[in-house]
Amino acid sequence: MKQVINPGLAKKSINLIDNIVYSHQKDLNGNPMELKMSIMLQNGNSEMRLAAGEDDPKADHSPKPALLWIPGGGWRGADKNLMLGEMSEFARAGYVVASMYYRSSAEGHWPDQIIDVLTAIRFLRANAEKYEINPDKIGVFGRSAGGHLATFAACNLDGYAAEEWKGYSSKVQACINMFGPTDVTALMLAEQAKLSDPNFRWHKLEETHGGALLGGDPDTMVERSAMANVMNFINPGICPIQILHGNSDPIVPIELCSDRLYDKLVEAGLEEQTEYYVIEHAGHGTREFFQDSVKELMIGFFDKYLK
C-alpha cells in the first residue's frame, strides 16, 4: 500500500548533547573530578546537519529560557540522565533543559553540593549563545535532595561562588521543589529519635542522608545542619517557588518540610509568588508526580515567570 501523507511541521526536533563538562573539582580524597551535565533542546535537525551539511530551513535558533534539573538520591549521587526521559515535555514546551551531576556526599560535604549547582547555573549563562539560552530566564527544579538544592539555589544567596565562570550570575528566576528535604534539621532530629530502634534503617546519625551530607563530628551534626537548612535562608530575594509534595511520603514527611517551607514563605510575605500543591496519596516520588496534569502545572508555572 502506497500513500502520500502531509504530517506538517508543528512538532520540532529535540536534540540531546551529553557529557558536557561544566566544572573541575576534587573529591574528599583530593582526586580530580569532571562534573558533567547533559542539555536537551529544540535546536534544529542535528543528524540532517551531519548528513547534509545544512539544517532544517524552518529550525528555530532563537534564545530560549533554560531549566536546570537537579537529581535526587539522598545527596548520595544519581546519574544525571536517570529521569531525563521525563523531561522531554519541558523541552517540547520550548525550554532548554540541562540535567547535572553534582558531588555526592561521598565525594564532597556541604556546601560542595550547592557550590556545584550554582557553578552549573553560571556555566549556562557563560555558554548561553552556544546553547541558545536566554541568560535572563533560568529556572531550577529537582526531586528529593535535588528539590532541596533547587530551593537553596532559589534563595539567590551570595557567598557560594567557585572561581569557575566567575563574573556570571548564579541567580535564578523560578524554582520547582518536588518533595525536597528542605528542613534538614527537623529530619535529622526525627531520625535521631529512631536510631535505637533495631528495625530503623540507620543506627548512627552519620549514616543518615543528612549526616553523610554534612560529614565531620557526629556530636555537632544537628547544630551544623543549620547551614544546609533552607528554612534559615528565606529572604526577600528568593525567586518564585512551586512546591509539590505527596501527603503519604514516608521518606520526607510533608509536615516536616514542605508544610513548614510554605508557612515560612507566607510569613515572609511571599505567598503571592508561591504555589503549593499537595499530591493526594502520593509517596516519595511515586508516579503521581509525573502525570500529564502535574507536568502541565509545572510548565504553566515556569511559563508564568520565564516567558
The answer to the question of residue 6 being in a domain is no
Residue 9 lies in a domain: no
Tell me the residue range of the domain where 103 lies.
Answer: 15-23+31-51+59-183+231-306
The pLDDT tens digits for 60-102 are 788 999 999 999 999 999 999 999 999 999 999 999 999 999 9
Distances from the Cα of 142 to the Cαs of 80, 168, 193, 285, in angstroms?
11, 22, 28, 11
Average per-residue pLDDT in the chain?
94
The residue among 199, 228, 257 that closes a domain is 228
Residues 6 or more apart in contact with residue 128 via CB below 8 angstroms = 63, 66, 134, 135
Q: How many residues does the chain have?
A: 307
**pLDDT tens for each residue of 214-258:** 999 999 999 999 999 999 999 999 999 999 999 999 999 999 999
At residue 46, does pLDDT exceed 70?
no
DSSP single-letter state for residue 256: T
How does residue 59 score in pLDDT terms, banded at 50, 70 and 90? low
What pLDDT is stored for residue 61 in this prediction?
80
Which of 173, 201, 228 is where one domain is finished? 228
Alpha-carbon distance of 263 to 243, in angstroms, equals 12
Q: Are 65 and 175 within one domain?
A: yes
Domain identity same for 212 and 158: no
pTM strictly above 0.85 = yes
Number of domains the chain is built from: 2
Verify that 146 and 265 share a domain, yes or no: yes
